[in-house]
Chain A
């Protein structure tokens, strides 16, 4: 389509000089980019290892790992050990730095628009102040090599990070709980979004929070 019947002089000038004005890609960057691409997308669907371990090991594991298995006995991407580890690390990191939130607001109508233009999906933002989990802010994070929206909630003196990431529309996963290093992580997938709720809250309280997100 060529709608400029009379070429704008500025347009002409820019086109004339664009060769000089272009920034050349630094040598090797293209190769670096291509090499950094994962050759295979890791989405393991392995059986839940803890259940396939020997009896003694299961008992030992169960003493600190509570697996909330309402659905299938399998773990897909979002509940894989690696991802859950990353979720816990993201939570711990967020508590270590001076400010946990990039946007401090208790107003979901402030937090939700804040994500616009920063990530290519619209996270679900809800406030559960009346249920004892006030929203305190939002943050961008990066989990499993993907941009992730983090919402921060408080429960008394504890923080909860609620992380979200787009999921394939067909994927559904009911609530699953894993405990790592004293932190509880509930993971679920619904309506095209992976969710993780992570906190040092006790599993019962965190489950109450996670259930608020269920229909």
Chain B
């Protein structure tokens, strides 16, 4: 029988609640679901905190948040691509590389919103939260190589979305 108080939770998880909310908000797309996801994930993290093996509580918690958000999306019957590896991407590297990317927050927000959930989450984890590649791999339960290639593709697609919004190309 385990008797547990919330000291560990406050120490290991509570500092990441704000970032977790942001992640949940970007993944679910609305405030109510994001709050629910945060609430559910916290309860889950609390329950399973004893089983936390790694010392990276943040990546562990993000993984829970991400899975809970996906469950919420499925409940809402929102279609989203869990795995975008098969998608053919128009890389057009040379053309894009020539362009100076310059977008304001509004354009970025719109561009980010129109990406797939999979693209969005990897960008959030890497660029917003600055997780290491290994940590991103842990959160997404993917091999490191897949993380790298998926991240590259997500960046390319975001770039394209920005340029499209700016009427570029």
Contacts and interface: CB of A to CB of B under 8 A. Distances in A.
Interface of A: 1, 3, 8-11, 13-15, 17-18, 20-26, 29-30, 32-34, 36-41, 43, 45, 117-120, 140, 145-147
A29 B128 contact: no
A21 B1 contact: no
Interface of B: 1-6, 9-10, 14, 17-18, 21-22, 25-26, 31, 34-35, 38-39, 42-44, 46-48, 64, 67, 70-71, 74, 82, 100-105, 108-109, 112, 123, 126-128, 132-134, 155-156, 158-159, 162
B35 A26 contact: yes
Contacts of A145: 43, 47
Contacts of B25: 23
Specify which of A23, A24, A45 lies most central, judged by the most chain B CB atoms within 10 Å of its CB. A23
B108 A14 contact: yes
B135 to A, nearest CB: 9
Contacts of A18: 127-128
A93 to B, nearest CB: 16
Given A1-B134, A10-B101, A22-B128, A34 B6 contact: yes
Contacts of A39: 5-6
Contact of A26 (B5, B31, B123, B155): B31
B4 A9 contact: no
Contacts of B159: 9-10
Given A11-B155, A30-B18, A37-B9, A23 B35 contact: no
Contacts of B158: 10, 14
